[in-house]
Amino acid sequence: MARSAILAAPSSRARRLAWPALLGLAVVAVIAVGGLSDRLQRAGEPRGLDPATIHAGYGPSSFAESRALAERNLAAARLTYATAPDEWLRTESLARALIARWRLDNDYADLAEAGRLLDDGLARAPYPSGPVLSRALLSLTVHRLGDAEAALERFARFVAPDSADVADAAALRGDLALQRGDLGRAAADYAEAERVGRTAGTSVRSATLRAYRGDRGGAAAALEALIAKPRQQPALLAELMLQRANLAYWAGEWAEAGRWVGAAQRTYPGYWLADAYAAQQFALAGRSAEAIRAYTRVAKRSGRPEVMDALAHLLRLEGRGRESRAWAARAERGWAQRGALFPEAVAHHRAEHELAVGSAARALEYAAADATARPQAPNLVLLARAELIAGHPQAARALLVRAARQGWASAALWTARSEVEAALGHAEASAAARSNAEALNPRAFDPRARLVWFGHD
């Protein structure tokens, strides 16, 4: 599943958009996994922020309330737009309301309508004005990097832009650089965004990038500082908490991840992604029957194909082939429906789906398309896995060498490298790569690690 949940960076004209779902970026009840042993945490070792002490402030108190608010906001935006459809600011407001609902319901028809509205707004607005940052944001969301770059270039021609817009543009440029695998450029852009106007969005971007570059401790401290701020919206807190859980997964700290997942559930009840993470925690604790039941509830309630994939994967590992195939088929239909509108947006998901419960040949096709469009290390690693399964270890090795040069500190990268070197008969190189992987995540080769579907690196 999509990995990091970087905050959206909308224009200040229409305020900040709702936080995107984490890549995937599940919510039911706090999962009792605190007793699960954690190799990285010694007895008596001081912990960081205690998630149990965090309490939300204003804003919708549950996922259901957020959906109701999004519907009301969309209805109001449609009425406003109808009074003056030629005004691009009203057009942009309606597009943003559609994007906000998509983040909750995942109906790609909302994104398609938003895209048409933004294109119309750009065509009507005097150059270089118009909904350029909204267009850049939407293009990045659906992984159309060329369109995002064109929108940001148009913004760069603004004569006297608002400072908040300048910060948003810098953050979006950083997102663009990150998807292209240029971590240095992304760091510079995020630093500029924070210098011009620090927000939760810019701060979490910078923190996550620190983790990508190997400073997991600094990233965790930065995220916890954001979480500890008082009177924050429940949805925002839940996203930050799941981001913090991701850092724990990357280090193999499964019990620590469980604490943050449980806090996200408590803070923002009904959130499908927190519930999916919670089901994953059951699986990691060896409670497969409970995990299957929890995943099934979330899959039925949310209709999210990534949850169906996680369920199909677990069922397959449990030897329940017929049920696994049924859920895999439902997930494939979901991905195909979304891919019909935005194939680039779901290529990575579809490659993961095919690797886990589908066709190796199709996995290679989707992974290649994704890595070509967005050559960041995680996508190169996924393509390398597909190449290895297809019987092309040399091609896989070349991709992993390229990925390592980008500077991502990824246990997944080194795990794949160890497997590829072993396939090539390079025992010493395989052992060295394994050592690198375990230095980042001591559980990298634990058989249960393959159960980490949400939040892996």
Query: Mind giving me the DSSP string for 255-316?
Result: HHHHHHHHHHHHHSTT-HHHHHHHHHHHHHTT-HHHHHHHHHHHHHHH--HHHHHHHHHHHH
What's the whole-number mean pLDDT along residues 28-49?
Answer: 41
pLDDT, tens digit, 9 for 90 and up, residues 198-238? 899 999 999 999 999 999 999 999 999 999 999 999 999 99
Q: Is residue 173 part of a domain?
A: yes
Closest CA to 412 of 353, 358, 452, 364: 452
Q: Is residue 111 part of a domain?
A: yes
Q: Is residue 10 part of a domain?
A: yes
Q: Is residue 79 part of a domain?
A: yes
Closest CA to 18 of 239, 227, 345: 239
Residue 46 · residue 23 · CB < 8 Å: no
* Residue 8 pLDDT level (bands cut at 50, 70, 90): very low
pLDDT of residue 183: 98
What is the CATH classification number for the domain harbouring 111? 1.25.40.10
- State the maximum Cα–Cα separation within the chain, in Å, rounded to a whole number: 70
Residue 187: which domain range?
A: 1-25+56-265
Residue with tokens 């999962």: 31
Q: Is residue 399 part of a domain?
A: no
pTM comes to 0.90
pLDDT of residue 159: 85
pLDDT of residue 37: 33
- Look up residue 49 and give its amino acid: L
Residue 20 · residue 194 · CB < 8 Å: no
CA distance linking residue 386 with residue 382, whole number of Å:
6
What's the whole-number mean pLDDT along residues 354-376?
Answer: 98
CA distance linking residue 252 with residue 92, whole number of Å:
42
CA distance linking residue 32 with residue 14, whole number of Å:
41
CA distance linking residue 132 with residue 155, whole number of Å:
6
Q: Is the pLDDT of residue 119 over 50?
A: yes
pLDDT of residue 184: 98
CA distance linking residue 196 with residue 84, whole number of Å:
33
CA 372 remoteness from chain centre: 19
Q: How many CB atoms neighbour CB 26 within 10 A?
A: 31
pLDDT of residue 56: 96
* Residue 454 pLDDT level (bands cut at 50, 70, 90): very high
H-helix segments, 303-426: 305-317, 321-341, 343-357, 360-373, 377-389, 393-405, 411-423
Q: Is residue 87 part of a domain?
A: yes
Residue 453 · residue 313 · CB < 8 Å: yes
Residue 299 · residue 311 · CB < 8 Å: yes
Q: Is residue 70 part of a domain?
A: yes
Q: Is residue 259 part of a domain?
A: yes
pLDDT of residue 47: 63
Residue 413 · residue 387 · CB < 8 Å: no
pLDDT, tens digit, 9 for 90 and up, residues 60-75? 999 999 999 999 999 9
CA distance linking residue 344 with residue 383, whole number of Å:
15
What's the whole-number mean pLDDT along residues 111-119?
Answer: 98
What's the whole-number mean pLDDT along residues 289-297?
Answer: 98
* Residue 10 pLDDT level (bands cut at 50, 70, 90): very low
Q: How many CB atoms neighbour CB 451 within 10 A?
A: 22
* Residue 409 pLDDT level (bands cut at 50, 70, 90): very high
pLDDT of residue 397: 98
CA distance linking residue 372 with residue 130, whole number of Å:
30
pLDDT, tens digit, 9 for 90 and up, residues 433-451? 999 999 999 999 999 999 9
Half-sphere exposure of 431 (CA within 13 A, CB side): 2
Based on the structure, what is the number of domains in the chain? 1
pLDDT of residue 33: 32
Per-chain mean pLDDT for the chain: 91
CA distance linking residue 429 with residue 417, whole number of Å:
9
Closest CA to 205 of 184, 190, 227: 190
